[in-house]
Protein backbone atom coordinates (compact mmCIF):
# COMPACT_ATOMS: atom_id res chain seq x y z
CA UNK A 1 0.00 0.00 0.00
CA UNK A 2 2.77 2.44 0.91
CA UNK A 3 4.60 1.88 -2.40
CA UNK A 4 1.45 2.42 -4.46
CA UNK A 5 0.71 5.66 -2.60
CA UNK A 6 4.28 6.86 -3.08
CA UNK A 7 4.07 6.19 -6.86
CA UNK A 8 0.73 7.99 -7.08
CA UNK A 9 2.09 11.04 -5.24
CA UNK A 10 5.13 11.14 -7.52
CA UNK A 11 2.90 10.95 -10.63
CA UNK A 12 0.62 13.66 -9.23
CA UNK A 13 3.60 15.94 -8.54
CA UNK A 14 5.04 15.33 -12.01
CA UNK A 15 1.76 16.17 -13.77
CA UNK A 16 1.23 19.18 -11.52
CA UNK A 17 4.73 20.50 -12.31
CA UNK A 18 4.19 19.94 -16.05
CA UNK A 19 0.95 21.92 -15.90
CA UNK A 20 2.55 24.72 -13.86
CA UNK A 21 5.14 25.07 -16.63
CA UNK A 22 2.69 24.67 -19.53
CA UNK A 23 0.36 27.38 -18.20
CA UNK A 24 3.26 29.58 -16.97
CA UNK A 25 1.61 29.80 -13.55
CA UNK A 26 4.78 30.87 -11.71
CA UNK A 27 5.16 33.95 -13.89
CA UNK A 28 1.42 34.68 -13.78
CA UNK A 29 1.25 34.25 -10.00
CA UNK A 30 -2.32 32.90 -10.00
CA UNK A 31 -4.15 29.63 -10.59
CA UNK A 32 -7.00 28.49 -12.88
CA UNK A 33 -9.51 30.47 -10.76
CA UNK A 34 -7.35 33.65 -10.43
CA UNK A 35 -6.27 32.96 -6.86
CA UNK A 36 -2.78 34.27 -6.09
CA UNK A 37 0.05 32.16 -4.75
CA UNK A 38 3.63 32.87 -3.77
CA UNK A 39 5.08 29.36 -3.73
CA UNK A 40 4.34 26.54 -6.13
CA UNK A 41 4.11 24.15 -3.15
CA UNK A 42 0.75 25.81 -2.44
CA UNK A 43 -0.63 24.41 -5.70
CA UNK A 44 -2.55 21.17 -6.15
CA UNK A 45 -4.10 19.15 -8.94
CA UNK A 46 -7.90 19.26 -9.19
CA UNK A 47 -9.67 16.55 -11.22
CA UNK A 48 -11.99 18.26 -13.72
CA UNK A 49 -13.77 15.81 -16.02
CA UNK A 50 -13.44 12.45 -14.31
CA UNK A 51 -13.38 12.63 -10.52
CA UNK A 52 -10.58 10.83 -8.73
CA UNK A 53 -13.02 8.29 -7.28
CA UNK A 54 -14.10 7.19 -10.80
CA UNK A 55 -10.76 7.43 -12.59
CA UNK A 56 -9.74 3.81 -12.27
CA UNK A 57 -13.17 2.57 -13.41
CA UNK A 58 -12.93 4.82 -16.46
CA UNK A 59 -9.50 3.48 -17.38
CA UNK A 60 -7.30 6.49 -16.58
CA UNK A 61 -5.59 5.13 -13.48
CA UNK A 62 -5.66 7.70 -10.69
CA UNK A 63 -6.82 10.48 -13.04
CA UNK A 64 -3.64 12.54 -12.82
CA UNK A 65 -3.52 13.34 -16.53
CA UNK A 66 -3.18 16.84 -17.97
CA UNK A 67 -6.47 16.86 -19.89
CA UNK A 68 -8.33 15.99 -16.68
CA UNK A 69 -6.91 18.67 -14.43
CA UNK A 70 -6.69 22.22 -13.27
CA UNK A 71 -4.06 23.62 -10.94
CA UNK A 72 -5.50 25.36 -7.89
CA UNK A 73 -4.19 26.86 -4.67
CA UNK A 74 -4.98 24.14 -2.12
CA UNK A 75 -5.91 26.35 0.85
CA UNK A 76 -8.10 28.79 -1.07
CA UNK A 77 -9.52 27.98 -4.49
CA UNK A 78 -9.29 24.18 -4.19
CA UNK A 79 -10.94 24.01 -0.77
CA UNK A 80 -13.49 26.65 -1.76
CA UNK A 81 -14.43 24.81 -4.95
CA UNK A 82 -15.24 21.69 -2.92
CA UNK A 83 -17.41 23.76 -0.58
CA UNK A 84 -19.24 25.14 -3.62
CA UNK A 85 -19.70 21.58 -4.91
CA UNK A 86 -21.35 20.63 -1.60
CA UNK A 87 -23.73 23.61 -1.51
CA UNK A 88 -24.49 24.39 -5.16
CA UNK A 89 -23.74 21.69 -7.73
CA UNK A 90 -24.80 23.89 -10.68
CA UNK A 91 -22.32 26.65 -9.77
CA UNK A 92 -19.62 24.02 -9.21
CA UNK A 93 -20.28 22.59 -12.69
CA UNK A 94 -20.26 26.07 -14.26
CA UNK A 95 -16.85 26.84 -12.73
CA UNK A 96 -15.60 23.42 -13.78
CA UNK A 97 -16.77 24.08 -17.35
CA UNK A 98 -14.72 27.30 -17.45
CA UNK A 99 -11.61 25.52 -16.18
CA UNK A 100 -12.06 22.71 -18.72
CA UNK A 101 -12.19 25.41 -21.40
CA UNK A 102 -8.95 26.94 -20.07
CA UNK A 103 -7.33 23.51 -20.06
CA UNK A 104 -8.40 22.84 -23.66
CA UNK A 105 -7.19 26.27 -24.81
CA UNK A 106 -3.82 25.69 -23.17
CA UNK A 107 -3.77 29.05 -21.40
CA UNK A 108 -5.65 30.99 -18.72
CA UNK A 109 -8.05 33.26 -20.55
CA UNK A 110 -9.21 36.48 -18.87
CA UNK A 111 -12.75 35.82 -20.20
CA UNK A 112 -12.90 32.47 -18.42
CA UNK A 113 -11.47 34.02 -15.26
CA UNK A 114 -14.10 36.77 -15.38
CA UNK A 115 -16.91 34.22 -15.76
CA UNK A 116 -15.50 32.23 -12.84
CA UNK A 117 -15.35 35.41 -10.77
CA UNK A 118 -18.98 36.21 -11.68
CA UNK A 119 -20.08 32.74 -10.55
CA UNK A 120 -18.10 33.10 -7.32
CA UNK A 121 -19.66 36.51 -6.65
CA UNK A 122 -23.11 34.98 -7.14
CA UNK A 123 -22.26 32.13 -4.76
CA UNK A 124 -20.98 34.62 -2.21
CA UNK A 125 -24.18 36.64 -2.53
CA UNK A 126 -26.47 33.62 -2.17
CA UNK A 127 -24.57 31.86 0.61
CA UNK A 128 -23.15 34.82 2.57
CA UNK A 129 -24.96 33.83 5.76
CA UNK A 130 -24.57 30.05 5.43
CA UNK A 131 -22.80 28.43 8.35
CA UNK A 132 -21.25 25.06 9.12
CA UNK A 133 -22.63 22.81 11.86
CA UNK A 134 -20.03 24.34 14.17
CA UNK A 135 -21.29 27.85 13.43
CA UNK A 136 -18.50 29.14 11.17
CA UNK A 137 -19.33 30.86 7.91
CA UNK A 138 -18.72 28.58 4.91
CA UNK A 139 -17.18 31.48 2.97
CA UNK A 140 -13.89 32.44 4.57
CA UNK A 141 -12.45 35.89 3.94
CA UNK A 142 -9.48 34.45 2.03
CA UNK A 143 -11.90 32.84 -0.45
CA UNK A 144 -12.96 36.30 -1.63
CA UNK A 145 -9.41 37.48 -2.44
CA UNK A 146 -9.06 36.86 -6.15
CA UNK A 147 -6.88 38.77 -8.57
CA UNK A 148 -9.57 39.15 -11.21
CA UNK A 149 -11.45 41.64 -8.99
CA UNK A 150 -8.37 43.85 -8.84
CA UNK A 151 -7.78 43.65 -12.61
CA UNK A 152 -11.27 44.78 -13.49
CA UNK A 153 -11.27 47.55 -10.91
CA UNK A 154 -8.07 48.91 -12.49
CA UNK A 155 -9.46 48.89 -16.05
In a domain, 155, yes or no: no
pLDDT of res. 149: 58
CB atoms within 10 A of CB 11: 15
Spatial distance between the Cα atoms of 67 and 37, rounded to a whole number of angstroms:
22
Number of domain units in the chain: 1
Tell me which residues of the chain have a pLDDT lower than 70.
1-8, 148-155
In a domain, 112, yes or no: yes
Is 34:117 a contact under the CB 8 Å cutoff?
yes
| Full domain range(s) for residue 112 | 2-150
In a domain, 11, yes or no: yes
pLDDT of res. 12: 80
In a domain, 104, yes or no: yes
pLDDT of res. 38: 95
Spatial distance between the Cα atoms of 3 and 8, rounded to a whole number of angstroms:
9
0.75 cut: is pTM over it? yes
In a domain, 137, yes or no: yes
pLDDT of res. 151: 56
- Give every CB contact of residue 65 below 8 A, 6+ residues apart in sequence: 15
In a domain, 84, yes or no: yes
In a domain, 41, yes or no: yes
In a domain, 55, yes or no: yes
Amino acid sequence: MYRKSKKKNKRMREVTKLMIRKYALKSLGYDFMAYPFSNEKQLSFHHLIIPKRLSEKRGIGDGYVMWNGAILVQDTSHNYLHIIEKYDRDMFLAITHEMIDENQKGYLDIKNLQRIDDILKQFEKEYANERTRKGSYIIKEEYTKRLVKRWFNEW
